Structures are given as structure tokens and as C-alpha cells.
Amino acid sequence: MDSNAKHTILIVDDDKFLLAMYQTKFGKAGWTVEASLNATEALQKLRDGLQPSAIMFDIIMPGVDGVEFLSLLKKEKLAPRAALIALTNQGKEDGSIEKVKVLGVDGYIVKAALIPSEVVEMVQRIVDGRKK
């Protein structure tokens, strides 16, 4: 997968198992992977100069949640060229997907609906679509 060779993804999820699984899947697909167990750590990496091609973040996290994380990304103009993808286990009924859509995500993924390889493919499509 040469098209991924220059892509870096920042994955933010408080679930250690899912974070490790996505790190492995994206790594095997040729991505450089940065991972954070919370939004505060991810924000610091971005403030320190990390410029990923994509940021995939959980909406429901302790402390700074995904909606607040996205708000801070926009407010501080961090990683302005990154595709922003929200991860959730929530359906549309709780309103969180609408909140991140309003804040300008490029996509959202319902974790239970896709297997990890499909998540990688979906993120790749979103990143490729932003280049056009």
C-alpha cells in the first residue's frame, strides 16, 4: 500500500485494547501511528508540532471528551490539514455525532459496525478524498 507510506495517524482512545488493535492495523497498512490514551496527551503532541494526515478520536472519554477535543483542535488551529474522524459506540440518539458534525469532522465511525480493517479502509478513503 504505497499510498499510505507518507501518512501519519493520531489515534486517541481511552480503551487500551482498541488503541493497540488500531495501532497494529494501521501500522500493517503502512501508516505511521501515534497513539494517545487521552485527549490531553494528544493535544500536547499536536501543540509540540505533530502534523498527522488523520486524527481518529473517541467521542466518549474521561476528562476532555471527543467533542471538547475537537473544539480545542479548531480553536487552537492544530493540525489544520488533518482529516478528522470521530469514533463512537453511540448511535445517533445521544446527539454526539451531530455535535462533532457541526464542529467539522470529515467522518465518523461507529466502532461496533466495522471490523478494524474496514476502519483503516474508511480512514484511507476520507484522507484520499480530502486531497482532491
* DSSP track, 77-102: T-STTSEEEEEES--GGGSHHHHHHH
What integer is the mean pLDDT of 38-67? 95
Integer Cα distance of 85 and 101 in angstroms: 10
In a domain, 32, yes or no: yes
Residue reference for cell 478524498 = 129
User: Is the entire prediction scored with pTM above 0.85?
Assistant: yes
In a domain, 86, yes or no: yes
In a domain, 23, yes or no: yes
Question: Which of the four pLDDT bands, split at 50, 70 and 90, describes residue 18?
Answer: very high
Q: By the 8 A CB rule, do 85 and 105 touch?
A: yes
**Residue 119 maps to which CATH number?**
3.40.50.2300
The number of folded domains in the chain is 1
Q: Which residues pair with 124 in a beta bridge?
A: none
In a domain, 16, yes or no: yes
Q: What is the pLDDT of residues 54-113, one digit of tens each?
A: 999 999 899 999 989 999 999 999 999 999 999 887 655 566 677 777 778 898 888 888
Q: By the 8 A CB rule, do 127 and 7 touch?
A: yes
pLDDT of residue 11: 98
For 39-53, b/e burial (b = at least 16 CB within 10 A) is beebbebbeeebebb
In a domain, 27, yes or no: yes
**pLDDT of 40 above 50:** yes
Integer Cα distance of 83 and 116 in angstroms: 18
Which is nearest to 98 in space by CA: 62, 59, 55, 72? 59
In a domain, 6, yes or no: no
pLDDT of residue 125: 93
Mean residue pLDDT of the chain comes to: 88
Write out the residue range of the structural domain in which residue 108 sits.
11-131
